[in-house]
Structure 1
């Protein structure tokens, strides 16, 4: 690996161990075996490197969901059972100690103090929404239309953000996939009664 890759891997380890705010450039250099000048040369700033490291962590995690077979998803795309299966897989990533999802909460809570990180990640939000829609609907990401992202994509992102928050702050009472699916079923039943 070169310095660029070493920095990224070191930054990922630092993020998981210390989070955004407590990770210093010196921490990254120590963890990566590189030097301070490498951060500016390859990434422009520590914050840009940390943002890239976070996106890489999300990418590493999402690889577990790439393709229906890899994710263990067998239900019909767009079905209520598919909804349950996908959320079950996602929630499974939140259960472990030191879940990287806590970093998402840190970004939300510290966004004003981490503007470069927040802005960089906000630019990536549309891709994340596209990936979620594709996973739930059983389609290729490039086939997801912008109109769908503006509705269904934002719906899934809102659910994801709420789940992350609940699993970080109160994992004993956070909903599992069955509870989410039952809640969705009740919403659908209430809407169809109207």
Structure 2
């Protein structure tokens, strides 16, 4: 493994153990087994490295969970019921990924003051919605991207609620009833 890959691996470990805001250059270098100067050489800044690691973690871990949940949902099921089932299935994984969810929320907070973070997160959001669009095979093609955006927006809100108050975060059936109420 080269220094670049070692730095990404070290940054991923630090994000999960310490979070975005508490991770230092020294922490990452120690976890990667490389010099602190290697961060600047390969990524330009600690923030750029943490952002790259965060995007990889989200895609690799949460992205796979979301893909699995949608693939497991019955495509013949009513789309609103499938939405509820998928949300519940994804929410069940949150406890395994609590540190990643927290690091992601810290990353969102960085976006307000860091255009690089904002740009990286925005691109990650676009990729996530595009991937969700591909997975929604039971939705009319002209509406799949809109439904994917609804899934993604709901999931990010559900993640933040779950981090703060997991016992009272809404369940899929509750959200499905709300969508049905809006469509009447």
Fold match, TM over 0.5?
yes
Equivalent residue number for residue 20 of structure 2? 20
Q: Deviations over 1:78-111 (max 9, x none)?
A: 7223212321222122234734112232233333
Deviation (angstroms), 1:4: 1.3
Q: CA RMSD in A?
A: 2.6
Does the CA contact (< 8 Å) of 1:29 and 1:36 recur in 2?
Answer: yes
Does the CA contact (< 8 Å) of 1:129 and 1:153 recur in 2?
Answer: yes
1:44-193 correspondence to structure 2 within 5 Å: 44-61=44-61, 62-66=63-67, 71-76=71-76, 79-96=79-96, 98-135=98-135, 137-138=136-137, 149=145, 151-188=146-183, 190=184
Does the CA contact (< 8 Å) of 2:83 and 2:151 recur in 1?
Answer: no
TM-score (ref. length: structure 2) = 0.83
Deviation (angstroms), 1:53: 0.5
Change (3 A) 1:98 1:105: same
Deviation (angstroms), 1:173: 0.6
